[in-house]
């Protein structure tokens, strides 16, 4: 069983690595690769996410737009805001999967941060935290990953630029809005916005 788990991890890492290389190649100055390669890179990265989480599919996943949640309190980039939402959702029985744009580290520190460092700060397994490759927006990756997991997305972003290619964004309840105010997390998990927890 352990060997199968390791093989799955290697495959997922290979897929996400290929996605990063494709994205970098397509965005390099003078690259002969067409822009459609970026879409392929996004789909490959999302497939890697799904493969990585496949053994846990029965769990109740929810995808967090980490780069959006960073600004939920006082419109300042705070990783503590993301942690508060993570803790709230875990207390509700959810398994949060968090996606960040590549620049997350520079917003909260002065260096690049990867999934391992961020997962420790968020109290999540490293396999549930993702950072998009440089030059590739996290939006299409997290949206495709959420669709494949059958999960909702916690964000205040409306994803207007992605609605044509991701029609399920219009499904009621797919996007969950919220805020963090004075340490209190409020999420619109139901029809109205309800206060469901207070962060420590």
Kindly report which listed range (53-62, 82-91, 160-169) carries the lowest average pLDDT score: 53-62
Domain-located, residue 31 = no
The whole domain housing 75 covers 59-198
Distinct helix (H) and strand (E) counts, the chain: 7, 8
**Is 45 domain-assigned?**
no
Dist. CA 155–CA 68, nearest whole Å = 6
4 is a domain residue: no
64-106 pLDDT, tens digit per residue, is 999 999 999 999 999 999 999 999 999 999 999 999 999 999 9
Phi and psi at 85, nearest 5°, equal -70, -40
- Tell me whether residue 131 is in a domain: yes
pTM given for the model: 0.68
Distance from the Cα of residue 157 to its chain's centroid? 13
The H or E element spanning position 14 is: helix 2-27
State what percent of residues in the chain have pLDDT above 90. Answer: 52
Count of the separate structural domains present in the chain: 1
CATH code at position 86? 3.40.50.11980
The residue-averaged pLDDT of 170-194 equals 82
Q: Are 125 and 52 in contact (CB under 8 A)?
A: no
């Amino acid at each position: 069983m352990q060997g199968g788990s390791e093989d799955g991890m290697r495959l997922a890492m290979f897929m996400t690595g290929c996605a990063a290389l494709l994205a970098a190649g397509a965005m390099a100055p003078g690259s002969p690769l067409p822009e459609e390669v970026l879409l392929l890179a996004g789909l490959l990265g999302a497939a890697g996410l799904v493969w990585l989480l496949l053994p846990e599919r029965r769990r109740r996943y929810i995808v967090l737009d980490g780069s959006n949640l960073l600004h939920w309190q006082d419109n300042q980039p705070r990783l503590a805001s993301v942690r508060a939402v993570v803790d709230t959702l875990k207390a509700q029985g959810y398994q949060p999967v968090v996606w960040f744009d590549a620049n997350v580290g520079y917003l909260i520190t002065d260096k690049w941060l990867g999934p391992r460092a961020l997962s420790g700060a968020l109290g999540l397994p490293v396999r549930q935290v993702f950072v998009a490759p440089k030059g590739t927006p996290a939006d299409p990756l997290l949206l495709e990953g959420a669709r494949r997991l059958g999960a909702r997305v916690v964000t205040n972003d409306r994803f207007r630029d992605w609605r044509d290619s991701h029609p399920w964004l219009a499904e009621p309840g797919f996007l969950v809005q919220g805020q963090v105010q004075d340490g209190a997390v409020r999420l619109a998990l139901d029809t109205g916005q309800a206060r469901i927890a207070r962060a420590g």
